[in-house]
Amino acid sequence: MHAVFLDYKTVDAGDLDLESIRAVLPEIKVYPYSTEAEVLDRIQGIEVAIANKIEFDSKVFDYADKLRLICVTATGTNNIDLDSAEKAGVTICNIRDYCTESVTQHVLLSILSLSHSYFDYMHSIQRGEWQEGSGFSLLEHPIKELSGKKLGIVGFGVLGKGVAKAASILGMETLICESFNPDKPDGSLHRVGFDELLRESDVVSLHCPLTEETDDIFNDDAFEKMKSSAILINTARGGLVNDQALIKAIENKSIAGAAIDVLDQEPPDSDHPLMQKDYKNLIITPHIAWAARESRQRALDRIADNVEAFQRGKPINVVKPKAL
């Protein structure tokens, strides 16, 4: 099958093995990145397209007259016009449960760094405060135990469950938010409403998709309902959190801190609101929660599994518009 990988370097930093994909697509053409114009050129005559963050709009499907399968090296498919894909008869497959360990590590790192004032103490040493002090221990910044604290999880899929399991080892109690999808049954789990979760949680960790229902759910109103001692962790989608509302909450001390791994624009422009000022209790990382080498290799291998299943006529991990 004629195939193309349109943005390979968004997955591989030079430390991965592409052989699992080459085994099922021997003639695949691999491009590090592709502009919008290059996508239209490279997609023509192609049956299988693999991509991470490439936008597939109706125009792409008009050009891709032979396209049969798109494999996304991610779980989310916000970058694909699913209605146009369905009309064009193109199967869309994503990958699932490939980076749970990596994301869980990142969430725990974020919680521990903020609750233990880790970076504040590093900066204190850099400023010579410990060296010039009188005591054996520097106690300038607050440190909180996590045992007995409540972790609110918004989005209790594979990632949310992984984070809950890890947090339980630290003695944290989990609160699970009600689904924002009105068609998704919640009967098997005890869940709490979003407002209750905001009021009760000491830490809130986001793992839900970005939909019409979840867009900007963390706005001024949401931050006002949170504890002033609470921490927000977002490793899901940037659009879940309103940037201006977050800045206001940090500056007004409506919350104790936040760790943000995803933005509404990636990479951000230099004038992005969150790039304008450093806050000691706001950690921003460049969308790396998922990016352990093992997770990225697993992503490629799962893509190979998707392609092979499609070739056998039994596709797996198929994303349908009605399922979103």
Q: Which residues are catalytic?
A: 237, 266, 287
CA angle 222-226-231, nearest 5°?
Answer: 110
Coil/strand/helix, residue 67: coil
What is the CB neighbour count within 10 angstroms for residue 319?
A: 18
Q: Is-contact 230 259, C-beta < 8 A?
A: no
CA-to-CA dists, residue 79 to 73, 111, 321, angstroms: 12, 30, 13
- The β-bridge partners of 37 are none
Taking the alpha carbons of 214, 250, 203, 284 in that order, is the dihedral positive or negative? positive
Q: Is-contact 10 31, C-beta < 8 A?
A: no
User: Exposed, middle or buried, 86 (CB in 10 Å: 0-12/13-18/19+)?
Assistant: middle
- Give the tokens for residue 162: 């992984």
Judge if the upstream peptide bond of residue 209 is cis by omega within 30 degrees of 0: no
CA angle 301-307-310, nearest 5°?
Answer: 145
- The β-bridge partners of 72 are 51
DSSP 269: P
